[in-house]
Amino acid sequence: MSASPHDTDPTLRSDNLRMFGKLGVIVALMFGFGYALVPMYSAICTALGINVLSVAERKVPGNAPAAARGNSQVDTSRVVTVEFDANARGPWEFKPARSSLDVHPGEMATVMYEFRNVQNRTMAAQAIPSYAPRQAMAHFNKLECFCFNEYTLAPGESRQWPVVFVIDPKLPKDVRTITLSYTFFEVGGKTPAEPSS
């Protein structure tokens, strides 16, 4: 049985090896880019001062290993004032039930936020939190928050949502006030457009 001309052609074999090498480099670059997306996204959000629900925010401190929890005692020697703010990006009503709350670090606290869709159409919306000062974000642990989910609200529907949080006792001592601000915005493409008049 004679060998195929393709089996013995050194030029073809060389071309195939070069193509295989190029494809291998492309695959490696794509994998590296995909792997680098998460830290790049985090760095961009931190640089711009926006916070879009990192996985760390969804972790409940009580479920963490004992070594990671550190000191979970309430620090009664300190009081931190948490101010609540709400920004509505659209024609609806959105506000906290109270403007501020004094808490001890390590103490669990709850504040309610109120929302009402004043439009004559159904809408889908979600809230994004931000913190001031920025260093407080790492010490503000939300156990329950409406910002974890997207909501669909009927025309005229009202809702109340809790934010349950604990301020880590490791919060720097010079931070005496934290502002928790939510921006509630409509999620496009999931609900019908506003009816034309």
Residue 140 scores a pLDDT above 70: yes
Q: What is the pLDDT of residues 149-177, one digit of tens each?
A: 888 889 989 989 899 999 999 999 999 99
Token pair recorded at residue 162: 């809790």
Indicate the pTM of the whole model: 0.57
Burial (CB < 10 A; 0-12, 13-18, 19+), residue 194, is: exposed
- pLDDT confidence of residue 178: 93
Residues 6+ apart with CB under 8 A from 173: 78
- CATH says 55-186 is which class? mainly beta
Q: How confident is the model at residue 2 (pLDDT cuts 50, 70, 90)?
A: low
Residue 80 scores a pLDDT above 80: yes
Q: How confident is the model at residue 15 (pLDDT cuts 50, 70, 90)?
A: confident
